[in-house]
Structure 1
Amino acid sequence: MSDCCCPTKSSAKTQQICPECGSACKSVGMPTLYHQVRFPENQSIVIDSYYFCPAKTCSIAYFANAGSTIPKQHLRSYQAIQNDALCYCFDIDSEQYLSALKDRRAEPIKGFVMQRTKAGECACEIRNPSGQCCLANFKRFENE
């Protein structure tokens, strides 16, 4: 699962601390924001360096160096975040995957995501609110 769908466009992502909850947050690109934030809020996004807060309980989705914030309720993926999405590209949530793990049916699910990712058929940069590849979510979930 080390192969990722999202090519590195620049050097390593930078990190900042969320001003609301104190979580470590990674930078996201502007394409992610434009696709994630719903209309009409996406029309007023100020170009800046933004960071995604992964904390489910935090109300902030994105914050910028200049201090602007975008709440999670303004995201297209808000419901998926609330449902603990593992894979935003193929609509797989934690509950579904946990059930598959318990029933020993998880490998075909993970295999499908890996195959589609390797074929370039994912869209993590725009579908995942973090802008990062979803494959790492499976490994992280399995280790928890």
Structure 2
Amino acid sequence: MIDASFFFCETPECDVVYYAEGGRRLFDKDDLTVRVGVKERDDPVPVCYCFGHSERDIVEDVQTHGRSTIYEAIKDNVRAGLCACEVTNPSGRCCLGNVQKAIQKARPEVPAVGLHRVRAGGPR
């Protein structure tokens, strides 16, 4: 039987997913049947477990639309009570924070074309 008090390890470099008080490991990545997004580097890296979205999906969405339509769709589904993050997400938390992080990673750096520096007090 597993101790009911366990914690989720968010450290990407660590193979431990769940541990007990005192740091005793309960489950490593290899013990689970689902990929743990924060622990993965290779596609597909899951970010939304309820609706099946990966980091790659977010990147493609942002490239296609210039913004994330996936984020809005997930929010709408959450409002409608259609999510089950506490059961499907290995962290037991809502995925929207991870989705937002994936969106930030997906946004390309936009160069400041045509912008120039203006001195305080205006041009001289």
The yes-or-no answer on 1:102 pairing with 2:63 is: yes
- Equivalent in the alignment of 1:138: 99
Please give the per-residue CA displacement for 1:28-65, whole angstroms capped at 9, x wherever unaligned: xxxxxxxxxxxxxxxx32222x2211234321111110
**Partner secondary structure for residue 69 of structure 1:** strand
Whole-angstrom distance in 1 between the partners of 2:3 and 2:48: 28
- Equivalent in the alignment of 1:63: 19
Tell me the percent identity. 27
Judge conservation of contact 1:97–1:106 (CA < 8 Å) in 2: no
Q: 2:30 aligns with which of 70, 73, 77?
A: 73
How well do the aligned residues superpose, as a CA RMSD in angstroms? 2.1
**Partner secondary structure for residue 86 of structure 1:** strand
Question: Relative to structure 1, is the Cα distance of residues 142 and 79 closer, same or farther in structure 2, using a 3 angstrom cutoff?
Answer: closer
Report deviation, 1:135.
0.9
Whole-angstrom distance in 2 between the partners of 1:128 and 1:89: 7
1:74 alignment partner AA: D
**Partner secondary structure for residue 93 of structure 2:** coil
Question: How high is the TM-score relative to the length of structure 1?
Answer: 0.60
Question: Relative to structure 1, is the Cα distance of residues 60 and 68 closer, same or farther in structure 2, using a 3 angstrom cutoff?
Answer: closer
Judge conservation of contact 2:49–2:85 (CA < 8 Å) in 1: yes
**Partner secondary structure for residue 78 of structure 1:** coil
Whole-angstrom distance in 2 between the partners of 1:54 and 1:79: 10
Question: Relative to structure 1, is the Cα distance of residues 88 and 69 closer, same or farther in structure 2, using a 3 angstrom cutoff?
Answer: same
1:129 alignment partner AA: P
Report deviation, 1:92.
0.2
Judge conservation of contact 2:71–2:100 (CA < 8 Å) in 1: no
Q: How many residues align?
A: 100
Judge conservation of contact 2:8–2:91 (CA < 8 Å) in 1: yes
Larger Rg: 2
Judge conservation of contact 2:16–2:27 (CA < 8 Å) in 1: yes
**Structure possessing the higher relative contact order (Cα contacts under 8 Å, 6 or more residues apart):** 1
Question: How high is the TM-score relative to the length of structure 2?
Answer: 0.69
- Equivalent in the alignment of 2:81: 120
1:127 alignment partner AA: T
